[in-house]
Amino acid sequence: MIGYISDNLLLPILDFFYGLVPSYGLAIVALTVVIRLALFPLSAGSIRSARRMRIAQPVMQKRQAEIKARHASDPKKQQEELGKLMKEFGSPLAGCLPLLVQMPILFALFATLRGSPFADVPYTLNLKVLPADQIAAVETKPFNSASHSIFITETNHVPVIASLEQGTKLGVGDVAQINFHTKSGESFTSLLQGVENGAAYTPSWSITKGDGVIKVSETGQIEALSTGEATIEAKVPGLAARSGFLFIKALGQVGFYTDGAINWDIAILVGGFGATLFISQILSGMGMPPNPQQSTANKITPVMITGMFLFFPLPAGVLLYMVVANIFQGLQTFLLTRETLPDNLQVILDQQLAQQTVAVAATAGGGMERLPFEPKGKK
């Protein structure tokens, strides 16, 4: 499903924007904004639900406890009253459904930006080499990898599959050929023949496991040397993987620290992600009574996630998308926190804010709240 959404929805939108402005960096920004706008009703529902639950939760917990205590001997009545409570304030799970619905599209967007044209596309084949006298008894099945959309020009991409006719089990001394072709059977090599500088996009080969078990040539021919297991990785170069944008040296670049040097463009993108995430969380609490636990989480979470992404292998193009998406999310959160609340929730929020004001005043005045009938001079 994710591959279908990527091939039939996201990549055509990407082609459209690249046709308007021939910059893959701008195409990423435009694609992100379009998808976020399309998902606005769903994500807005999640934000509204989270905001309302944050206000209603203390009251709901108190009333749930009262209902359970009052109707402890009558489960049917208890469920009826709890249902009325949920109808009054809404279910805490109401915000999860919109989030779940939009996840396939967001995963597809993430997968699109990790593949061609923004990054080199890997194909992995796991092989097993058996003794020559045993392979004859093994039923061989042709192997076909998952297809990936490969850009062969700026706006022309085709789904490409890696296949191994003999299957992934070979006998010592066997020779096999890995072929790249489209779903219709047209070879990838023939597609590249009509493309300017097409040879630059032929696959590169490496053995990531089992060096002494197999050997692979530059054309993808495998020779089984000895028994054991092996893994071959073929990479098809991404058309824009080495294209820059603004301060980004290459959209396909991966890693904060490589070859003994710091990639400052990656560091800036990761820092921008952390900053925008922090601001978005601060905006989500606007107009709400302070929550010490939530406040601590808002400070720790961006730091933890930012630290993780410093060393998590994400291409610069994906990090660019994440920063733009966070900025959009922050703007959306800011707008939605200014919406008028339902009357019952507004009454609760006003009471919470009033209680907070009294508590702050009491702390400032020496830690004790003065009762209404006490003289002003009495402490």
The pLDDT tens digits of the residues spanning 152-209 come to 877 778 888 888 888 888 888 888 888 888 888 888 888 887 777 777 778 888 888 8
- Report the pLDDT value the prediction gives residue 322, as an integer from 0 to 100: 84
Does residue 327 lie in a domain region? no
Q: Count other C-beta atoms under 10 Å from residue 163's C-beta.
A: 16
- Report the pLDDT value the prediction gives residue 94, as an integer from 0 to 100: 58
What token pair was written down for 304?
A: 């933890």
Whole-model pTM over 0.75: no
Percent of the chain with pLDDT over 70: 78
CA distance 187 to 183: 10
Q: Is 315 helix (H, G, I), strand (E, B) or coil?
A: strand
Does residue 6 lie in a domain region? yes
Does residue 244 lie in a domain region? no
State the Cα angle at 229 between 226 and 232, rounded to 5°.
100
What token pair was written down for 46?
A: 């999640």
CA distance 345 to 35: 31
- Report the pLDDT value the prediction gives residue 152, as an integer from 0 to 100: 80
Q: Are residues 82 and 177 in the same domain?
A: no
Q: Which structural domain, as residue segments, surrounds residue 15?
A: 2-113
What domain count does the chain have? 2
Does residue 62 lie in a domain region? yes
Distances (CA, A) of 238 to 200, 207, 219: 10, 20, 18
Q: Count other C-beta atoms under 10 Å from residue 57's C-beta.
A: 12
Q: Is 130 helix (H, G, I), strand (E, B) or coil?
A: strand
Q: Are residues 130 and 97 in the same domain?
A: no
Q: Are residues 133 and 222 in the same domain?
A: yes
What token pair was written down for 94?
A: 């109401």
State the Cα angle at 333 between 327 and 338, rounded to 5°.
135
